[in-house]
Structure 1
Amino acid sequence: MTATEKPDVLAPAELGPVRLRNRIIKAATYEGLSHKALVTKDLVDFHVAYARGGVGMTTVAYCAVAKEGRTDRHQIYWTDEAMPGLRVLTDAVHAEGAAVSAQIGHGGPVANPKGNGAPALSPTKHFHATSLNWAHETSVADIQRIVEAHAEAARRAIEAGFDAVEVHLGHNYLASSFLSPRINRRTDAYGGSLENRARFAREIMRAVHDAVGGRIAVIAKMNMDDGVPGGFWLDEAIPVAQWFEQDGTVDALEMTAGSSLLNPMYLFKGDAPLKEFAEIMPQPIKLGVKTVGKRFLHSYPYKDAYLLEDARQIRAAVKLPMILLGGVTGKPVMDLAMSEGFEFVAMARALLREPDLVNRLREDASTPSLCIHCNKCMPTNFTGTRCVLVDRSTPRRQNWGKANGYVA
């Protein structure tokens, strides 16, 4: 391929040690389909649909590295009991010709302390307005334990048959909150300067890289912009990306934005589904969403490839393969990403609406996405993530149990 040629997004490509059948990745969207930290038949079917629909790789989101790092009490974490179900899932995806990645990470201040039965963790003590709880300061012993937990999660991902791990360093989850000067007010080796605030994330990536040993691909998903005043921003994201490249611990970078803790809609762009969020929240949070939700759930104008402008600045600063996320809806956006030097694209909402979109794009490149970016899919991750314009079924969690097919 010459310097002027752009890769074909629908052709096979190498991601680290893994060969994908194309350059299109189903981005991580928490499925809300695990039960008691175990894989369910619904979760398997969810990912098989994207594999059958033509993606190169689908991403299981999100597999916490520790029990207290879960953002939902049903979320999978890497127990002995979870492993057989995870193997069923990866085998099912592979049978459809796609690869499968496990998103691993620690929720930190975004974690659910009530559901986990353990305090949430933060670089420094922090109040979470959604859970109405204080997150405890992370000790150095906690840091060391969680770094090793990432390594163990990566080893277990290999055992379960995953082709890649995507390490979650974004959205003000724990590693991201350490990067944030607004949340991280530590005065030790993990706070203060950017080099110190990035230390935890670099230790995680080094531990995961060493645990993997080149057997599967390692992706880092990192914020470019927290979307809050005083937060982590692009001017700091660029050197952190360069440090990952220098460390040699990452096969690809996927750049993201926003804070699940402080500004969750910043990543998604489009409408803020306030009514739908209020409907699924318990009191008193329901009342809070109805009365002051607009102060927390902001609406942002949507446009295709909305993260490209910032991501191309990372692209210019590193030679690492990069995955473009954000407003990837059709072939023109994919081709634009390839022409801008990105090696892969990641899709989420468009595939929730149409799991077979990739197959149809292969047949007719002019096929438009039907996603209208209403974001009403977002509140469904509490009951089974889906596009409500297509799937209006009763929330499935109430019907779960061994009789209804969780894989144990």
Structure 2
Amino acid sequence: MTATEAPDVLAPARLGPIRLRNRVIKAATYEGLSHRALVTRDLVDFHVAYARGGVGMTTVAYCAVTRDGRTDRHQIHWTDEAMPGLRVLTEAVHAEGAAIAAQIGHGGPVASPRANGAPALSPSSFFHTTAFSRARAASLADIRRITGAHAEAARRAAAAGFDAVEVHLGHNYLASSFLSPRLNRRTDRYGGPLENRARFAREIMRAVHDAADGRIAVIAKMNMDDGVPGGFWLDEAIAVARWLEQDGTVDALEMTAGSSLLNPMYLFKGDAPLREFAAVMPQPARLGVKAVGGRFLRSYPYRDAYLLEDARQIRAAVKLPMILLGGITGRPVMDRAMREGFAYVAMARALLREPDLVNRLREDAATPSLCIHCNKCMPTNFTGTRCVLTDRTTTRGDTWGTPEGYVG
């Protein structure tokens, strides 16, 4: 594609059934700002800042499809009590001219047994070293229940005013762990060859697509590479992307990488903030991070557009619109993504540093990002996700709804 053929990243565009004012999406970054599974004023303000700052769409992360799929005890899941606050949130973002998506999924082996009062689920049983408990192998009843919960989450997202859902098929959350040959040792129709390991993800996407019924856009966020030996790899990701395209269940693909369970820094690249993670951890986890955290939180060299090389191979294999994630920092990288055939770009850390970056890029394409990729924003999701180099503070604020049945 030539420069003259490439779309303008800051011009309006369609995403499935919806229209975005530009092609820049605020990527899902867990905010740590919900309280007792309800929307707070801080969560609303967080997303309004990106809408006011010029993004085409902001993404709320992470909304678990079931209570046992949460990775944090305060995490929103799709209860009746959460709906009033979610409507406040979507209306506030729409008032600023932006669209809003909800990231939906089940944490699986990444879910918190302590917060949920239930064992983590996995394709196969294993000892959960970070939780010091055994993850339970998902039964066929669990698979049916969680597939249906994804559909219900999509219906509720549409009812709450969301413009899109982003289905989490990455980072070794439940659907991703089924894709992984390292984590999935099942011998039934959900294990073994790739076609079987991909069955759960495909069933989820069919259920979400049918529930969305053309009212909202459906995005799949899927790993290209787990970043661990024996894990899901790019050649298999290409095959799954083709199957999703054939199924006709997805409006756009967002490719990601890494395992929140086994190698979380593989997605982010750059330095691992071990000291900052240890500071927010309770004992004995704090001692563990200090002693052996470098084995789990590894450092990787950072470069702009660091997922482009692999995502380009997915791009060549499918005709689906694709969102480029990973090291999107400024106009040169955005324009390169457009020339390479990507339809949208997703930004995370650069926007945490400067929520108004898109507006400033519109005024001056040479505007540099101030993000230095120190990754010290990562541990702040325990207390309210933010760039530590800014003065922004969080209080959690008011909530909308009543947290019935909440167990803290």
- TM-score, length of structure 2 as denominator length: 0.97
Looking at structure 2, the residues matched to 258 and 42 of structure 1 have their Cα atoms a distance apart, in angstroms, of 29
Does the 8 Å contact 1:64/1:105 carry over to 2?
A: yes
| Structure 2 partner of 1:255 | 255
Residue 305 of structure 1: how far off its partner (Å): 0.1
Aligned length: 401
Partner of 2:398: 405
Specify the alignment match of 1:13 in structure 2: 13
Conserved? CA contact 1:109–1:126, under 8 Å: no
**8 A Cα contact 1:128 1:261, kept in partner:** no
- Alignment of 1:314 with 2:307, yes or no, is no
- Give the residue type in structure 2 aligned to 1:259: S
* Structure 2 partner of 1:192: 192
CA distance in 2: counterparts of 1:70 and 1:156, whole angstroms: 17
Q: How many angstroms apart in 2 are the aligned matches of 1:313 and 1:307?
A: 11
Task: Trace 1:354-365 onto structure 2 (pairs within 5 A).
Answer: 354-365=354-365
TM-aligned CA deviation for residue 381 of structure 1: 0.4
Instruction: Please name the residue that 2:404 is paired with.
Output: none
Distance 1:283 1:356 in 2: 38
Measured after TM superposition, the shift of residue 126 of structure 1 is: 2.0
Shift of 1:407: 1.9
5+ unaligned residues in a row in structure 1: which ranges? none
Q: In structure 1, what is the equivalent of residue 406 of structure 2?
A: none
Alignment correspondent of 1:150: 150
Residues 15-54 of structure 1 mapped to structure 2, 5 A cutoff: 15-54=15-54
**1:386 maps onto 2:386 in alignment:** yes
Q: Find the residue that maps to 1:47 and give its secondary structure.
A: helix
- Equivalence for 1:294: 294
TM-superposed CA distance for 1:392, in Å, is 6.2
Alignment of 1:373 with 2:366, yes or no, is no
Q: Residue 320 of structure 2 aligns to which amino acid in structure 1?
A: L
1:298 deviates by 0.2
1:14-163 equivalences under 5 Å are: 14-163=14-163
In the other structure, the counterpart of 2:244 is 244
Cα distance change, pair 17–276 in 1 and its aligned pair in 2 (3 A): same
Amino acid at match of 1:70: R
Give the alignment's TM-score, normalised by structure 1: 0.97
Residues in 2 aligned to 1:406 and 1:368: alpha-carbon distance in whole angstroms: 36
Q: Which residue of 1 aligns with 2:228?
A: 228
Cα distance between partner residues in 2 of 1:303 and 1:179: 28
The CA distance in 1 between the partners of 2:184 and 2:2, in whole Å, is 45
Spell out structure 1 runs of 4+ moving beyond 4 A: 1-4
3-state SS of paired residue (2:165): strand
Partner Cα distance (2:126, 2:39) in 1: 32
Contact preservation (8 Å) 2:151, 2:211: yes
- Deviates further, 132-141 or 323-332: 132-141
Answer yes or no: is 1:166 the counterpart of 2:145: no
Shift of 1:119: 1.2
Counterpart amino acid of 1:406?
A: T
Aligned partners of 2:2 and 2:339 also within 8 Å: no
1:277 is aligned to 277
TM-align CA RMSD: 1.1
Please tell me whether the aligned partners of residues 52 and 356 of structure 2 are also in contact (alpha carbons under 8 angstroms). Answer: yes
In 2: Cα distance, 1:141 partner to 1:12 partner: 43
Aligned partners of 1:133 and 1:345: how far apart in 2?
Answer: 38
Listed as ranges, the gaps of 5+ residues in structure 2 are 402-408
Partners of 1:339 and 1:177 in 2: CA distance: 33
Offset from partner CA, 1:165-202 (integer Å, 9 cap, x none): 00000000000000000000000000000000000000
Q: Which amino acid aligns with 1:282?
A: P
